[in-house]
């Protein structure tokens, strides 16, 4: 309980001492779902689209890294005979497929926002 209170106080002090925020347009690497949804909904300028592109590009890279880890785990677990279904190898395979699909989806979103940034930057 004391640790929870101490953590809350440190978070409050950290945000209080940070001072006023500048108004730069960035999609932080760890933003909440609501913040990301708001940024997507309100994006109109090339800078905002580029921030979304960078966010989804980074997220795709993270998913690809997780997929690579699961691929190694899958290869390692394939050496042991399965005792039940789903076997540990099956679980690693499913996670590998999930992370790879997630990376491809986020890369497609990054490409979409790249195209929006380019099209909104050109004058009519």
For the residues 75-103, what does the mean pLDDT come to? Answer: 91
Q: Which residues of 55-77 are buried (b: 16+ CB within 10 A; e: fewer)?
A: bbbebbeebbebbeebbebbeeb
pLDDT digit string, tens, across residues 53-73: 999 999 999 999 999 999 999
Q: What pLDDT does residue 28 have? A: 60
pTM: 0.70
Q: Is the pLDDT of residue 19 over 80?
A: no
Domain spans of the chain, in order of start: 26-121
Mean pLDDT over the full length of the chain: 80
CB 93, CB 74: distance < 8 Å = yes
């Amino acid at each position: 309980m004391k640790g929870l209170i101490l953590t809350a106080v440190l978070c409050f002090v950290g945000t209080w001492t940070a001072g006023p925020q500048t108004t730069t347009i960035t999609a932080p690497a760890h933003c909440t779902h609501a913040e990301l949804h708001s940024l997507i909904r309100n994006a109109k300028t090339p800078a905002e689209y580029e921030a979304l592109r960078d966010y989804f590009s980074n997220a795709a890279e993270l998913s690809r890294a997780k997929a690579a880890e699961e691929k190694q785990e899958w290869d390692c677990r394939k050496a042991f005979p399965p005792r039940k279904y789903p076997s540990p190898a099956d679980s690693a395979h499913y996670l590998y497929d999930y992370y790879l699909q997630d990376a491809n989806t986020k890369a497609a979103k990054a490409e979409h926002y790249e195209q929006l940034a380019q099209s909104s930057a050109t004058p009519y």
